[in-house]
């Protein structure tokens, strides 16, 4: 039996909190001209419709909703943000007028909440085709579909919130025995704001040692509010995709167990890790332990890295998730291909855990 009631009766339940919160959301069907006023710093805007004033931060959802309708619905957010920033820097008043025309050209409704202070804050912008979905109803339908159309038994392990937008995500263990990697199906519940969609975020765990692997999202199957997509298709597509990835990892584990760890490649890896000497020593020490258990192969290296990234190990917290990602990448692609990946620079102009080949340092420098 599933302990679904226990999960839903928890004192901290983001799904129920979201359902209750959205009961207070109001809406305005845009039937009059809307004026747009951008703040001088470009971080907030004010919409005026009749006698109602609506405030909003210029965050990703709002910029995507308005910019997509202005310059192309199929554009990537990064391209929309670039256009928005350029127009704002060159002529803010012209951008305000352009954004205002969006409401004249489209049949839209603005959803908003009224704060205790009396300020109205935009919650989302929707069309008449938008379908409201009660998140608790969706959850029940989802569980029924898995039971009915797969041989898997979903067991909820609890509900969290996503780091990016604070959306509820509930992880289900799907009983699929015979694999060395355990998968958890993370159902991300959508807000009724015209922007979100129900998506899946998979957690992956090496069972024998409970080492975490990098999370995985698949090809991005989405259950959107604006179309009556068959829920059964959503469930089957996402579950089957997870099973295929599970099989893929099983093959990769077998391949990495048979792939001897080459000393030159290991030396290059250690020389390119942007880590302190003590942390590099921990990597090598853990590699010795894993090699004694499974042999001196790439599987041992992958296990060493993901173990240090998952367990209490003396590794700085800021490096742990990077080690997990590196170990996962070596498992999925091989050490040779990982070393030949293009090294990316973050927004601060800094390299991540891996330095470029030309910046290789002595192994324990």
* Cα–Cα separations (whole angstroms), residue 251 to 14, 180, 197, 329: 37, 10, 32, 14
Residue corresponding to tokens 């999960």: 7
Query: At 25, is the pLDDT very low, low, confident or very high (cuts 50, 70, 90)?
Result: very high
Residue 141: count other Cβ atoms within 10 Å of its Cβ: 15
Position with higher pLDDT, 53 vs 131: 53
* % of the chain exceeding 70 in pLDDT: 92
The pLDDT of residue 2 is 39
- Give the DSSP letter string of 15-35: HHHHHHHHTT-EEEE--S-EE
Is the whole-model pTM more than 0.85?
no
**For the chain, how long is the longest CA-to-CA vector?**
74
| pLDDT band (50, 70, 90) for residue 365 | very low
DSSP classification of residue 153: -
**Contact by Cβ (8 Å): 256, 334:** yes
- 155-167 pLDDT, tens digit per residue, is 999 999 988 788 8
Residue 38 three-state SS:
strand
């Amino acid at each position: 039996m599933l302990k679904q009631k226990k999960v839903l009766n928890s004192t901290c339940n983001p799904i129920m909190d979201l359902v209750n919160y959205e009961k207070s959301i109001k809406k305005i069907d845009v039937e009059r001209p809307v004026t747009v006023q951008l703040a001088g710093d470009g971080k907030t805007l004010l919409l005026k419709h009749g006698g109602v004033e609506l405030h909003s931060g210029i965050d990703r959802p709002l910029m995507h909703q308005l910019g997509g309708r202005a310059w192309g619905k199929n554009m990537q957010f990064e391209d929309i943000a670039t256009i928005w920033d350029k127009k704002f820097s060159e002529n803010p008043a012209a951008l305000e007028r352009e954004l205002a025309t969006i409401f004249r050209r489209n049949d839209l409704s603005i959803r908003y909440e009224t704060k205790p202070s009396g300020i109205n804050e935009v919650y989302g912008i929707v069309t008449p085709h938008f379908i409201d979905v009660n998140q608790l109803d969706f959850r029940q339908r989802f569980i029924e579909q898995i039971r009915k159309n797969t041989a898997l038994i979903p067991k909820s392990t609890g509900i969290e919130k996503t780091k990016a937008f604070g959306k509820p995500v509930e992880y289900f263990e799907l009983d699929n025995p015979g694999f060395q990697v355990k998968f958890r199906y993370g159902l991300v519940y959508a807000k009724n704001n015209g922007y979100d969609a129900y998506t899946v975020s998979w957690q992956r765990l090496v069972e024998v040692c409970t080492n975490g692997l990098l999370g995985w999202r698949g090809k991005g199957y989405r259950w959107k509010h604006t179309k009556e997509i068959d829920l059964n298709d959503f469930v089957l597509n996402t579950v089957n995709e997870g099973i295929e990835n599970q099989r893929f990892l099983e093959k990769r584990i077998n391949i990495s167990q048979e792939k001897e760890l080459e000393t030159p490649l290991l030396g290059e890896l250690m020389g390119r890790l942007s880590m302190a000497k003590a942390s590099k020593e921990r990597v090598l020490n853990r590699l010795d332990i894993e090699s004694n258990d499974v042999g001196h192969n790439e599987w041992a290296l992958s296990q060493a890295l993901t173990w240090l990234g998952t367990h209490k190990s003396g590794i700085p917290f800021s490096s742990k998730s990077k080690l997990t990602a590196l170990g996962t990448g070596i498992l999925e692609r091989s050490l040779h291909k990982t070393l030949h990946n293009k090294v990316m620079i973050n927004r601060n102009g800094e390299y991540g855990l891996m330095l470029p080949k030309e910046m290789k340092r002595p192994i324990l420098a």
